[in-house]
Chain A
Amino acid sequence: MNVALNACGLGKRYGNSWALRDCSLRVPAGRITGLVGPNGAGKTTLLRMAVGLLGATSGEISVFGWSPTEDPALVLARVGFVPQERPLYSGFTVGEILQLGRHLNPRWDQAGAAARLKRLDIGLNRKVAHLSGGQHAQVSLALALGKRPDLLLLDEPLSNLDPLARREFMKALVEVVAAEGLSVILSSHVVAELERVCDHLVILNGGRVQVVGDIDELVATHKLQIAPRQDSDVIDSDATVIQATHTDGQSAMLVKVGSRAVRPDWEVHDVSLEEMVLAYLGNPAAADLPAPVMQKAG
């Protein structure tokens, strides 16, 4: 597996509180990885550490094998980052933004960036201050893509966008991934809008990594079981209960199933990605991590 981003025991402390703690994960290259979790989960902290805007308190992080703080030139040449607030100089025109990009980036793709904005009908003479939210987001994306990154980091790229602008942003993103094959990590606290676009998932919760994996595989191995009321949350040595809801006569349990089938005498339902994510977020003690990470934590 080619690894785009690798974190090992990574932690970031502000005063007495940890924004990120014992974070170990590998993000494969060539994928669109969704980074999900509630506000304050550590998503922004992780992304800022990936580009060296923040240093680690403990552990290590690397991008394509290089440390963002020790070898910033090697990392930054290959990484595009669009922060949540999507900062662009509001007094500039769109054309001037591209000119800035050209002067700051040795691998700058002026023709590609201009063509991208032309397709979206965003004139180069438009003032940044006069762009709609969706256009502002598209110019930010074009600026990040103009440097021809191998890894694109997007922090809450869909926040403050209306549904149509979200759709168009995602469309622009998947099209460029299909054409160029770059790796993308995008954070969001809304899971539903990631389901089609992402194929890999990282769940962060309270500064810790809860789940890392391939989305199709995660969805296939999590099931909702309806059973006669269970007083114990241990139902089978080969299935882990992530979340249980009990009524008088019945228990509904969202479980991660192991190698054997779940109990066939119970009702079994498929779950959506969103249901699975919400179950984990509701139970911060549960985790589903690849084996090497587990060994390290143990």
Chain B
Amino acid sequence: MLFHLDARSGMPTYMQLVNQVRRATRNGTLRAGDRLPTAREVVAALTINPNTVLKAYTQLESEGLVISRPGLGTFIAQGIPAPLAPALQRQLRRALDAWIRNAVSAGLDREGMLALINLAIDENKKAAHVA
């Protein structure tokens, strides 16, 4: 696992690390049982604050994505959701393509579409919490 940082993203460094691990498990780069680099390795590679790495790993652990084995390291947990099956991914993508064509003909630009998608995600999340 190689981490990288985008200085212009505006996202806190620890969140960038968290997102990269999430993405890597989703696309299958990291699988259950894989070891994440130690905090010291990440610190040396990126020249970042050690607490930032610990914060990211703690967050991942609280989400159940990784488990920490004292003295051994931090590992991707068993039972994480399997990467999205290609067939399912194609199906979701086709639905999204159709949605984008509708949005474009309705006059929405990229920003407008992203705003709408973010809003929908937020509201769905809220509804799920209430339920």
Q: Is B4 interfacial (CB-CB < 8 Å)? A: no
Q: How distant is the Cα of A75 from the Cα of B5 in the complex, in angstroms? A: 38
Q: CB distance B43 to A196 under 8 Å? A: no
Check B43 against A178 for contact (C-beta < 8 Å). yes
B87 → chain A, closest Cβ, in Å? 37
- Alpha-carbon gap, A198 to B12, bound state (A): 12
Contact B40 A196 (CB under 8 A): no
Across-interface contacts of A270 in B (CB, < 8 A): 10
B40-63 with Cβ < 8 A to chain A: 40, 43-44, 46-52, 55
B49 and A174 within 8 A (CB): yes
Residue A220 lies at the interface, judged by CB distance under 8 Å to chain B: yes
Inter-chain contact B10/A196, CB cutoff 8 Å: no
Contact in complex: A171, B51 (CB < 8 Å): no
Cα of A272 to Cα of B10 in the assembled complex, Å: 6
Choose from B10, B13, B14, B50 the contact partner of A178 (Cβ within 8 Å): B50
User: How many of A's residues come within 8 Å of B, CB to CB?
Assistant: 23
A89 to chain B, nearest CB (A): 30
Q: Is the CB of A174 within 8 A of B10?
A: no
Of A179, A198, A199, A220, the residue contacting B40 (CB under 8 A) is: A179
**Identity of the chain A residue whose Cβ is nearest the Cβ of B52 in the assembled complex:** A199
A171 touches B44 (CB 8 A): yes
Contacts known (A178-B39, A178-B40); A196 close to B46, Cβ less than 8 A: yes
Structural contact, A197 and B48, CB atoms closer than 8 A: yes
Could you mark each residue 214-258 of chain A with 1 if its beta carbon is under 8 Å from any beta carbon of chain B, else 0? 001001100000000000000000000000000000000000000
Chain A residues packing against B (C-beta within 8 Å): 30-32, 167, 170-171, 174-175, 177-179, 181, 195-199, 216, 219-220, 270-272
- Known A-B contacts: A174-B48, A175-B43. Give 16 more (CB < 8 A): A30-B51, A31-B51, A32-B49, A174-B47, A174-B50, A175-B40, A177-B50, A178-B39, A178-B43, A196-B49, A196-B52, A199-B51, A216-B55, A219-B12, A270-B10, A271-B10
Contact sample, A vs B, 29 pairs, CB 8 Å cutoff: A30-B51, A31-B51, A32-B49, A32-B51, A170-B47, A171-B44, A171-B47, A174-B47, A174-B48, A174-B50, A175-B43, A175-B44, A177-B49, A178-B39, A178-B44, A195-B7, A196-B48, A197-B47, A197-B48, A198-B49, A199-B49, A199-B51, A199-B52, A216-B12, A216-B55, A219-B12, A220-B12, A270-B10, A272-B10
